Amino acid sequence: MNDYLLAGPMLRQVTTEVVCVWLATNREVSVTLSVFAGTDISGMAEFKPTDAASSNSNQHPQSERIQCALGKNLFIYLLQARPLQKNTFFPRDTLLTYQLEVDGQLVDLNALGLTYDNAARPSFFIPRQLKHLLQGSCRKPHGNTKDALSAGDTELLRSHNDLTQRPALLLLTGDQIYADDVAGAMLALLKQKAVQMLGHQELLPWENLPESRFTHVKWAILRLLGKAPPAAIEKGTLFDPTALAERKHVAKRQAGFSSTEADNHLFTFGEYAAMYLYVLGNAGQWQPDFDLEENLEKRTALQNFHETLPKVRRLMANIPTYMICDDHDVTDDWNITGAWYDKVRRLAFGQRVVANALASYWAFQGWGNAPEDFDAAFIDSICDYFAASPSPAAKVADRFDLNLWKYRGWGFSIPSNPPVIVLDSRTQRQPDGANYPPQLLDRYALDWLRVEWAKLLVKMEQDVDKGEIDAMPLCPIFVATTPVMGFAAIEGIQQLLLWAVGTIEDTFVIRTIEKWLGIEGRLTLRFIYQLDVEAWISNREGFKKFLNTLLDRMHITQCVFLSGDVHYSFTSKACFQSNGKTLHCWQLTSSALCNTPSAKNAFDKINAIVNKEQGKFSHTNYALSAADRWQSSGEYLMLKGSVSQQRITPTCNIGLVEFNNTGQPIKHSLLNGAVPEVFLL
The string of DSSP letters for 60-102 reads ----S--EEEEETTEEEEEEEEEESSTT--PPSSS-EEEEEEE
Chosen domain end from 345, 362, 392: 392
Same domain as 372, residue 243: yes
Residue 678 in any domain: the answer is no
* Residue 35 predicted with pLDDT over 70: yes
State the pLDDT confidence band at 246, using cuts at 50, 70 and 90: confident
Same domain as 358, residue 225: yes
* Residue 45 predicted with pLDDT over 80: no
State the pLDDT confidence band at 596, using cuts at 50, 70 and 90: confident
* Three-class SS state of 420: strand
Secondary element (H or E) of residue 219: helix 213-224
Chosen domain end from 392, 407, 441: 392
Domain count of the chain?
2
Tens-place pLDDT, residues 17-31 = 999 999 999 999 999
Same domain as 195, residue 116: no
Exposure letters 542-572 (e unless 16+ CB within 10 A, then b): bbbbbbbbbbeebebebbbbbbbbbbbbbbb
Q: Which domain holds residue 287?
A: 175-323+325-392
Chosen domain end from 375, 392, 409: 392
What pLDDT was estimated at residue 245? Answer: 80
Average pLDDT over residues 408-432: 96
Whole-number Å distance between alpha carbons of 169 and 665? 15
What pLDDT was estimated at residue 54? Answer: 36
Strand partners, 232: none
Query: Which range, 215-224, 282-291, 515-524, has the best average confidence (pLDDT)?
Result: 282-291
What pLDDT was estimated at residue 622? Answer: 65
State the pLDDT confidence band at 60, using cuts at 50, 70 and 90: very low
Residue 337 in any domain: the answer is yes
What pLDDT was estimated at residue 626? Answer: 61
Residue 588 in any domain: the answer is no
* Three-class SS state of 459: helix
What pLDDT was estimated at residue 257? Answer: 94
* Residue 669 predicted with pLDDT over 90: yes
State the pLDDT confidence band at 88, using cuts at 50, 70 and 90: confident
Cβ–Cβ < 8 Å for 637, 617: no
Whole-number Å distance between alpha carbons of 244 and 175? 25
Residue 170 in any domain: the answer is no
What pLDDT was estimated at residue 314? Answer: 98
* Residue 503 predicted with pLDDT over 60: yes
**Which positions ≥6 away from 143 have C-beta within 8 Å?**
301, 305, 592, 593, 594, 595, 596, 652
Same domain as 222, residue 367: yes
Omega before 489 cis (within 30°)? no
Same domain as 81, residue 219: no
Closest CA to 419 of 465, 479, 371, 470: 479
Range of weakest confidence among 127-141, 198-212, 246-260, 426-440: 198-212
Range of weakest confidence among 326-335, 412-421, 534-543, 650-659: 534-543
Residue 499 in any domain: the answer is no
Same domain as 209, residue 68: no
Mean pLDDT of the chain: 87
Tens-place pLDDT, residues 601-641 = 566 666 666 665 544 555 666 666 666 788 888 888 989 87
Residues above pLDDT 90, as percent of the chain: 65
Residue 528 in any domain: the answer is no
Whole-number Å distance between alpha carbons of 403 and 82? 30
Is the pLDDT higher at 138 or at 53? 138
* Residue 136 predicted with pLDDT over 70: yes
Residue 281 in any domain: the answer is yes
Same domain as 285, residue 191: yes
CATH number of the domain that residue 16 is part of: 2.60.40
Secondary element (H or E) of residue 154: helix 149-159
Whole-number Å distance between alpha carbons of 27 and 4? 6
Cβ–Cβ < 8 Å for 350, 341: no
Closest CA to 9 of 96, 101, 72, 74: 101
Range of weakest confidence among 198-207, 322-331, 500-509: 500-509
Range of weakest confidence among 100-104, 182-186, 605-609: 605-609
Same domain as 222, residue 88: no
State the pLDDT confidence band at 500, using cuts at 50, 70 and 90: low
* Sign of the CA dihedral running 339, 341, 346, 347: positive
What pLDDT was estimated at residue 634? Answer: 86
State the pLDDT confidence band at 57, using cuts at 50, 70 and 90: very low
* Three-class SS state of 416: coil
State the pLDDT confidence band at 36, using cuts at 50, 70 and 90: very high
Same domain as 119, residue 179: no
What pLDDT was estimated at residue 48? Answer: 72
Same domain as 228, residue 83: no
Same domain as 193, residue 71: no
Residue 540 in any domain: the answer is no
Same domain as 247, residue 112: no
